Amino acid sequence: MGRRGRRACVIGLWACGLAACSSAPPPPLPHIDSAAACLQSLDRHHIVYDRVKDWTTSEGCGISQAVRVERSAIGWNRKTLMSCSLEAVVWDFETQVVQPAAERNFGQAVRKMSNAGSYSCRGEIGGRAERLSQHSFGKALDVTGFELADGTVISVSRDWRNKGAKSEFLHQVAQGACKIFSVVMTPNRNVEHHDHLHLDIGPHKFCGY
């Protein structure tokens, strides 16, 4: 399916979601190793993305199954470079965790998820500096906030430690993310994560909720 076709389809599906066309959540994306099969799964779920040529740097960084995602199940604040395998899990996160939490706490859907990026060739921050971060492989995403259908903005840096529905929503989202991602780090982890939720699909396991 072409990029324009994916955009048309996702707009239609988003409108359907706002109209509560179906009360049943969509099935999760499979965790796929094959690049072709992973890309096909993104197409089936009408994710808007561009395929990017894979690469590896002299430091050992780089992305296999590289994609630049413009829109997933939820609109994003920016086009984001990442691995296809990460986007498949992010789609699960959006549909199985984020949207249900928004409906519980606010009675409406999330229309935009903001992130500070995925790919960055560097060592771990706040962990083992000599070990490459999962950001180095496009397998980590830093989520900074959300925007509801009515325009209400929820910020990790501003709302995580406050009381009320926004804080409760963020904590529910982080807790749910621990069931989907390998590693979840929140403002509770350290000062480096004061303004975002770090979500990755690397080989290590940690729930820093």
Residue 180: pLDDT over 60? yes
Query: Sign of dihedral through CA atoms 202, 203, 208, 209?
Result: positive
Which tokens belong to 162?
Answer: 């406050």
pTM: 0.82
Q: Do 184 and 209 meet the contact criterion of CB atoms below 8 Å apart?
A: yes
DSSP H or E run through 184:
strand 183-185
**How far is residue 52 from each of residues 82, 174, 196, measured CA to CA in Å?**
9, 29, 26
Total domains, the chain: 1
Q: What percent of the chain has pLDDT over 90?
A: 75
Residue that wins the pLDDT comparison between 92 and 34: 92
Residue 77: pLDDT over 90? yes
- Which domain does 9 fall in, by range? 3-208
Close Cβ partners of 4 (under 8 Å, ≥ 6 residues apart)? none
By the 10 Å C-beta count (0-12 exposed, 13-18 middle, 19+ buried), 60 is classed as exposed
